[in-house]
Structure 1
Amino acid sequence: MVIPIISVLFLLVAEPACALELKIASIAPEGSQWMQEMRKGASTIKERSNGRVILKFYGGGVMGNEKSVLRKIRVGQLHGGVFTGGGLSEIDPNLQLYSLLFTFRSKDEVDYIRARMDQTLLDELERAGYASFGFAGGGFAQLMGNLPVRSIEDLKGRKFWVPEGDAVIYAAVESLGLSPVTLPITDVMTGLQTGLVDIIGSSAIGAIAFQWHARLKFITSTPLAYLYATLVVDRQAFSRLTAEDQAMVREVMGGVYQNFDRQNTSDNQAALEALKKQGLIVVDPLPGEEKRWRDLAAAVNERLGRDGTFSPVLYKRMQDDLQRFRSETAAKKN
């Protein structure tokens, strides 16, 4: 009787022989709400698939920066990763459209455009060979540094951090006559500590999560760029799941990212208030300066579209929708 009992116990605790493990990397800090919620989603997936599908998350940038993670996905060392729009530009440059400098003025504008363009961009990701589970907005990046920034002149001579691989932001910063310094997100803290960079664009929640706020003193109030992230999995690896399991994973992780999308706006506002309480000072641009920034950025964005950095057709579609929304909003106020 001993051998049969041992056999039964083994069957109860062993993973199914056909279990498929998807290894997914993220630069989100370990212990952060992002990692906790994604791992909860992974637990739900494992339970609902009876152990057939296992999502293993590597947080804290242990698998390297976004460029390294993408390379590891392509060689099969990883199956997926969590990326910012800029981090995915190597797959599809159009994923940077939402993050173009000074494009959006409010969350309402973002919501209007995303309701009309999210699916287009998600479809492009699928065609490029990646399954995605929706976009999670991260709020607006704002200029942050050790000195106040109220005008373009305040930026002259400053070392401006640009995320590694983000050719669009690099070109925009350079065209404004500034000095861009390219670094992966995982190296920004070191850059601030050593003086390699002295001004960054970050959301409040990101500045706290990565502890950058400890090296900063001022925040400029104007929204610089909209930030978002998405989890992608290599389609070839994902297709090894049954159709039923694929649908279930999309449902669960799609729900996780919808929750991120809803929660991040309020979390970012709370984070901004927390930064103020810790002594960071919010400053406004000088009169007329905000329009100047927007005009300069728009000219750069138009040129980048003409040069083929991203689709000029999609860019025009986004701008036309924005103008329509602004006109409708203005008409309602009158």
Structure 2
Amino acid sequence: MKIGRFLFSVIAVMLLHASIVEARVFKIATISPDGTFWMQEMRAGAEEIKKQTQGRVVFKFYPGGVMGNDESVLRKIRIGQLQGGAVTAGSLVSIDPDIAIYELPYLFESLDQVDYVRSRMDAELIETLEGKGFVGFGLAEGGFSYMMSDQSLQSVADVRDKKVWLPSNHPVGEAVFESADIS
């Protein structure tokens, strides 16, 4: 089953068992651009929930960062302007630094190793988020990170001479680059 549909199925079951009588609109924001896999899956799941609840539960999506970056989305969730968001792990590090475990370089050699660790760690990480006021419906994986360049880079010294981009709120990446004197 695809991640998005699974997550929205979980939400639908919870809402159905909550005996919601009146219609409810859930506002969900993400930096994922409209039309991407993530948005397609979220919209498909939302459509299923709308059908299962006879239109009483509807999702309104704000893709492509129109509600701001991940930190803005989390702030808007805290103050009630949004009911949810699909955010990157880096933005959750400020809530729970342990989330960064999956970003440690060279920790995993295969997706099988990732799956093994995630099967034991995801629930604990989500529980910690819940203890800090955020309900997590799951953690999605985006695969391994790779350094890329339009020029050949054969050594760390080659990288030091280049402008390097890292996602915001990526403390592990920042620490790795800082330790190698890469700015």
Q: Is this a same-fold pair by TM over 0.5? A: yes
C-alpha separation in 2, matches of 1:87 and 1:40: 25
C-alpha separation in 2, matches of 1:117 and 1:169: 21
1:127 aligns with 2:131: yes
Question: What is the aligned counterpart of 2:43 among 9, 25, 39?
Answer: 39
Question: What is the aligned counterpart of 1:71 among 72, 75, 100?
Answer: 75
1:98 aligns with 2:98: no
Structure 1 residue 50, shift from structure 2 partner? 2.0
Q: How many pairs were matched up?
A: 164
C-alpha separation in 1, matches of 2:152 and 2:116: 32
Residues 240-272 of structure 1: per-residue CA shift (max 9 Å, x gap) = xxxxxxxxxxxxxxxxxxxxxxxxxxxxxxxxx
**1:145 maps to what in 2?**
149
C-alpha separation in 2, matches of 1:123 and 1:17: 29
C-alpha separation in 1, matches of 2:63 and 2:178: 32
1:116 aligns with 2:120: yes
Residues 18-52 of structure 1: per-residue CA shift (max 9 Å, x gap) = 21211111111111121111011011111112222
- Larger-gyration structure (1/2): 1
Instruction: Name the aligned partner's letter for residue 77 of structure 1.
Output: Q
**1:175 maps to what in 2?**
179
Question: What is the aligned counterpart of 2:62 among 58, 61, 65?
Answer: 58
Q: What RMSD over aligned residues (CA atoms) do the two structures have, in Å?
A: 1.7
1:48 aligns with 2:52: yes
Residues 26-80 of structure 1: per-residue CA shift (max 9 Å, x gap) = 1111111211110110111111122222221111111111112112222222121
Is the Cα contact below 8 Å between 1:42 and 1:54 reproduced in 2? yes
Structure 1 residues 38 and 128: CA distance shift in structure 2, 3 A: same
Is the Cα contact below 8 Å between 1:143 and 1:149 reproduced in 2? no
RCO higher in structure (CA 8 A, sep ≥6): 1
Relative to total residues, which structure has the larger helix share, 1 or 2? 1
Task: Classify the secondary structure of the residue corresponding to 1:130.
Answer: coil
Question: What is the aligned counterpart of 1:25 among 17, 24, 29?
Answer: 29
**1:253 maps to what in 2?**
none
In the superposition, the TM-score normalised over structure 1's length comes to 0.47
Q: Which runs of 5+ in 2 are unaligned?
A: 1-19
Percent sequence identity is 49
Relative to total residues, which structure has the larger strand share, 1 or 2? 1
Is the Cα contact below 8 Å between 1:67 and 1:165 reproduced in 2? no
C-alpha separation in 2, matches of 1:159 and 1:137: 27
Moved over 6 A (4+): none
In the superposition, the TM-score normalised over structure 2's length comes to 0.82
C-alpha separation in 1, matches of 2:65 and 2:122: 27
Instruction: Name the aligned partner's letter for residue 49 of structure 1.
Output: T
Instruction: Name the aligned partner's letter for residue 138 of structure 2.
Output: G
Instruction: Name the aligned partner's letter for residue 112 of structure 2.
Output: D
C-alpha separation in 1, matches of 2:159 and 2:175: 16
